Structure 1
Amino acid sequence: MGRHGVSLLSRRFRRLRGEHILCSARRRPARPQAGEVRPQIGSSQFRSGEMADRLSEVLESDDVEQLATDFVFTEGPLWHPEGYWLFVDIRRSLIFRIAPGGEPKVERDNSGGSNGLTFDLQGRLIMCEGDNRRLTRREDNGSISVFVDQWEGKKLNRPNDLVGRSDGTVYFTNPNGRIAPEDREIDFAGVHAVRPDGSQFVAIRDFEYPNGLVFSPDESVLYVANTRESKHIEAFDVAVDGTVSNGRVWADMSSDEPDGVPDGMKVDVEGRVYCTGPGGCWVFDSDGSNMGIIRLPEIPANVAWGGPDHRTMLFTARTSIYTMRMTTEGIHIPTS
């Protein structure tokens, strides 16, 4: 057990001849008690044989590696170009870093319930601080400054996730859930954007519950996950000036799965969209067709590309973080 009660366990799982087995484990899982149902470990299950074949296009293998566990609720994964992962434990307001094969170390404490993370063009870390209702930036000297905390003089709702555009504009979701109605100053949930000069505009307003968001590889489309009752991904056309229009339902994610909602998203270089959701991480082809669901030992909330070749996918999944190797390359976060 490491600092802050985090287990440093690294476990590798794989599927063999249809049976899910634990291999190279440093400890055995506890024997299930009577009546207890344990998740299948390291599985990749799909809705049909056709989907299984399609999903095999992006999975290098069925190996799933658990890098660390014993967190409370992991989120906000991000690959640092210096060769390590960043991620958050929201409910403990901690940001961690972990190198492949290394141990998790606290990067920042008292992080204001940080969730989504990204870099600006100068490589500075930008954080969505949900509890503090703002976005902050870590400066080159290590100090934390306010990136944005209001719109037209009104305090933000609860910033959730964010994505940067190659021109330096940062888009972030601003849902109004978990805020008492009397404490809301902005009366809609939407997507805001901050230009490099600090000016701000509302890209999308009156969205049911905006959560994860990501651009297509050419940045002509912005995808936004809707978390609440109508579980789906919406797509919006992006103009040269960064404004968006023509919102439409791009992919339906309604499901009978008991756990998970549309949440964090990423794309690969071929335009496929990876969105954590009910049952696991959903993979969609660039035309919106469902390729299948990557299932993990725990339900993931967010996902990120990383590794030296950008072909490793990291999943933040409840109490743990997991990685899988992919056949395709993920989109790099734009930095100068």
Structure 2
Amino acid sequence: MNRFIHMWAPFRKPYGGLRRGLVCLALLIGVASIGGSAVAQQRPVPKGATVELVDDGFEFTEGPIWYQGTLLFSDIPANTVYQWTPDDGTSVFMKPSGHANGLAIDSSGQLLLAQHDGQVGRRTADGSVTVLANTYGGKRLNSPNDLTVASDGTIYFTDPPYGVDENDRELSFSGVYRLSPNGELTLLTKTFARPNGICLSPNDSTLYVNDSRETRIRAYDVTESGGIENGRQFAAPTDEGAEGSTDGMKVDAQGNLYTTGPGGVWVYSPDGTQQARIAVPKAPTNLAFGGPDRKTLYITARPHVYRVPVNVPGAE
């Protein structure tokens, strides 16, 4: 517990209930092109769309996921996963959460948690958590941050040292891992300074990984065995003076990549062309598609949760 509070203490504030409200904020949308030709696909974000406040009053929100008709999101220092619906508002879904950060859904529909307390876990029907991975090479993982699941059940996750006191670290590197359906854990790369958000393209052929220290996104081809190759820089969103970095990200059904970045959410086509930029008043931490048609983008941004409509549904 102490190693976590040390890291996140600057973001803590008194928690005095949840306030709901609607605040419309400007949405900045820019369409880019390569070689002078516009990308031939539907505009990902509606022109003139506005960001709406869903709820606030939290400490540090993260890990949103649409799960069984509700929005789930983490509040890391509060050691809580909350659930929200338009009709019922916000309530506690899980506490303690192992200081969960990223959330995902496995191939059987169960909730997965990247827990800052040092493990990747699966929440069972009775509310308990089964440990899927907590060590590599006999040494404790740092602080699992985010995760994504392939169609065959393979889990990919990042493991930076956020929330871990340097003296308590057992692994000297920040890894990106593959956890096979049979439970075999493989280190894919340890070249990142701070690996953070992670997601797969809709056909599982490309793995994207954010580096939050360097504010860049790398892409890898996924091999038949589930490994990665041909690593390259995919994008590096830049806005001097704007707050925020490459943290959480997701893809839509057309393969467009939505990532947090300086000043908001940046949207890229599969070839790396910038398609849009959504301005967010607080530095965003993560995002997820939700709603019955998966055409609402939910954005966590420290004490706030926002949403904005999109044209293209999120990838399943």
TM-score (norm 1): 0.83
> How far apart in 1 are the matches of 2:101 and 2:246?
15
The residue aligned with 2:223 is 239
Give the one of 77, 91, 105 matched to 2:64.
77
Q: Decide whether aligned partners of structure 1 residues 152 and 69 sit closer, same or farther in structure 2, where only a CA change above 3 A counts.
A: same
- State the secondary structure of the residue aligned to 1:182: helix
> How far apart in 2 are the matches of 1:158 and 1:102?
32
Corresponding position: 1:211 with 2:196: yes
Contact 1:215 1:223 in 2 (8 A): yes
Corresponding position: 1:106 with 2:88: no
Corresponding position: 1:6 with 2:27: no
The residue aligned with 1:86 is 72
Letter aligned with residue 296 of structure 1: V
What does 1:43-82 align with in structure 2 at a 5 Å threshold?
A: 43-46=26-29, 57-60=43-46, 61-80=48-67, 82=68
Q: Decide whether aligned partners of structure 1 residues 169 and 273 sit closer, same or farther in structure 2, where only a CA change above 3 A counts.
A: same
- State the secondary structure of the residue aligned to 2:77: helix
Letter aligned with residue 126 of structure 1: L
What does 1:1-336 align with in structure 2 at a 5 Å threshold?
A: 5-13=16-24, 42-46=25-29, 57-60=43-46, 61-80=48-67, 82-130=68-116, 132-228=117-213, 230-332=214-316
Q: Decide whether aligned partners of structure 1 residues 58 and 153 sit closer, same or farther in structure 2, where only a CA change above 3 A counts.
A: same
> How far apart in 1 are the matches of 2:138 and 2:221?
28
Residue 253 of structure 1, CA deviation: 2.0
Residues 29-74 of structure 1 show CA distances to partners (whole Å, capped at 9, x for unaligned) of xxxxxxxxxxxxx1112568989x9899122351322111111111
Residues 291-315 of structure 1 show CA distances to partners (whole Å, capped at 9, x for unaligned) of 2320023221100011111111100
Q: Report % sequence identity.
A: 36
Contact 1:211 1:226 in 2 (8 A): yes
Contact 1:6 1:68 in 2 (8 A): no
Contact 1:8 1:67 in 2 (8 A): no
Q: Decide whether aligned partners of structure 1 residues 50 and 245 sit closer, same or farther in structure 2, where only a CA change above 3 A counts.
A: closer
TM-score (norm 2): 0.88
> How far apart in 1 are the matches of 2:77 and 2:242?
22
Contact 2:30 2:275 in 1 (8 A): no
Residues 82-130 of structure 1 show CA distances to partners (whole Å, capped at 9, x for unaligned) of 2110001111111000012431000111212210001111111111111
User: RMSD in angstroms over aligned alpha carbons?
Assistant: 2.1
Q: Decide whether aligned partners of structure 1 residues 49 and 246 sit closer, same or farther in structure 2, where only a CA change above 3 A counts.
A: closer
> How far apart in 1 are the matches of 2:30 and 2:310?
20
Residue 196 of structure 1, CA deviation: 1.4
- State the secondary structure of the residue aligned to 1:291: strand
Q: Which range is displaced more, 182-191 or 146-155?
A: 182-191
Contact 2:198 2:209 in 1 (8 A): yes
The residue aligned with 1:31 is none
Contact 2:114 2:147 in 1 (8 A): yes
> How far apart in 2 are the matches of 1:164 and 1:255?
31
Q: Decide whether aligned partners of structure 1 residues 49 and 133 sit closer, same or farther in structure 2, where only a CA change above 3 A counts.
A: closer
Contact 1:8 1:103 in 2 (8 A): no
> How far apart in 2 are the matches of 1:223 and 1:172?
11
Contact 1:8 1:104 in 2 (8 A): no
Letter aligned with residue 307 of structure 1: G
> How far apart in 2 are the matches of 1:258 and 1:280?
9
Structure having the higher Rg: 1
> How far apart in 2 are the matches of 1:45 and 1:326?
13
- In structure 1, stretches of 5+ residues that fail to align are 14-41
> How far apart in 2 are the matches of 1:167 and 1:298?
36
The residue aligned with 1:18 is none
> How far apart in 2 are the matches of 1:280 and 1:85?
20
> How far apart in 2 are the matches of 1:5 and 1:149?
34
